[in-house]
Amino acid sequence: MSEWENNVRKPEPYTPGEQPKDRDIIKLNTNENPYPPAPAAAQILKDFRYADLRLYPDPQASDLVKAIADTYSVKPSQVFVGSGSDDVLSMSFLTFFASDKPVLFPEITYSFYDVWAELYGVPYEQIPLKDDLTIDPADYMKENGGIIFANPNAPTGIFMETDAVEKILSENPRSVVIVDEAYIDFGGTSCLPLIKKYDNLLVVQTFSKSRSMAGLRIGYAIGSEKLIQYLNDVKFSVNSYTMNRLTILCGAAAVKDTAYLKETAAKIIKTREHSKKALIRLGFEVTDSKANFIFVKHKTADAKKIFEELKKRRIYVRYWDKPIIKDYLRITIGTSSDMLKLYDALEEILK
Ligand code: PMP
């Protein structure tokens, strides 16, 4: 090691799911939406003035902020946007978790949380899930420097009802509580109405899943004006221009089309419920997912082996070689024809 390397920050980075260049695969590994984004955004792309790219974008991303605020009936000053919810969550860790006390989050959850905590030097405690893989609100009633959890949780897909979320909030007036609702539109109920009552609640959502725009990179947070102001102060201390011109315009057009979101989410929910039954028939145990993926464990067959065999058949799902979840696979819900091909492949593998 060269001497200068002693002065280098060396995080253990998050590993995103594989993004193979090959398009000729069934891609059920990163919770993308199998349907195209709202048609309104396509027109924006066509009409976009290429020459405008010489200009910086609006650092406040006002058009997008306003469109999101209108959609959720809040003030623009209650909305923060970023380049994917990863950016929004990362900024939130940096802004709100500055205490010496540990930030609490589930042991099994989005595996980026501990990466940000390590990178920013935030002390943290990972709270085990219950045996049935649910989060117990009672575990979040101790002293802490902040709380974050995904709802529905990832990769279990299990949803926590709003009254349980409120229990955590009412017991934690001294902490910022962040609820990561990346998958909320697939059958859960958002805890967004609680922001009226709790000025320490930040709700984070994304355009990557229910809005089919993972490639555009838009995430947002909604909360009290005070929370959003704090977030903006940190953002403008890191990078003023996180959202590019094209993304701001496409996002603002797409978010208005809530009918389209509901229609595609309903299709995914229908396929998900069907796929739960199909996988149970194939000998899997299946969690009660309210997300656009299912989390499954076969009664006898090895998860890693199934993962590898599926890959040989050009079907990509997600597997983590990690304690507690090493017997599970996370399978994104694709179109019903994708899922039929998955069942056929599984049947063959399990023979
Ligand atoms: N939160 C959770 C729970 C996720 O699974 C993901 C997707 N990997 C994200 C946030 C980030 O998604 P994006 O940055 O695409 O908005």
In-domain check, residue 8: no
Distance CA 92, CA 177 (A): 10
Q: Is the CB of 113 under 6 A from ligand 1?
A: no
Mean pLDDT of the residues in the chain: 97
154 and 190 inside one domain: yes
Q: Which of 206, 231, 256 is the last residue of a domain?
A: 256
If residue 231 lies in a helix (H) or strand (E), which one and from where to where? helix 225-235
Residue 155, preceding peptide bond in cis (omega within 30° of 0): yes
Q: Is the CB of 150 under 6 A from ligand 1?
A: yes
CA 293–ligand 1 middle distance (angstroms): 13
pLDDT in tens, 230-269: 999 999 999 999 999 999 999 999 999 999 999 999 999 9
Q: What is the CATH number of the domain that holds 171?
A: 3.40.640.10
Residue-level length of the chain? 351
Residue 26 near residue 338, CB atoms below 8 Å:
yes
In-domain check, residue 268: yes
Q: Which of 221, 241, 256 is the last residue of a domain?
A: 256
The C-alpha angle with vertex 22 and arms to 311 and 260, in degrees rounded to 5, equals 95
264 and 335 inside one domain: yes
Q: What domain count does the chain have?
A: 2
**pLDDT number for residue 22:** 86
Q: Is the CB of 85 under 6 A from ligand 1?
A: yes
Q: What is the CATH number of the domain that holds 272?
A: 3.90.1150.10
Distance CA 96, CA 147 (A): 10
Structure tokens at 232: 């903006």
293 and 236 inside one domain: no
Full residue range of the structural domain in which residue 309 is found: 17-37+259-350
pLDDT in tens, 63-122: 999 999 999 999 999 999 999 999 999 999 999 999 999 999 999 999 999 999 999 999
Type of residue at 321: D
pLDDT in tens, 177-203: 999 999 999 999 999 999 999 999 999
Distance CA 26, CA 277 (A): 20
Q: Is the CB of 88 under 6 A from ligand 1?
A: no
Number of Cβ within 10 Å of residue 278's Cβ equals: 18
Residue 23 reports pLDDT greater than 90 = no
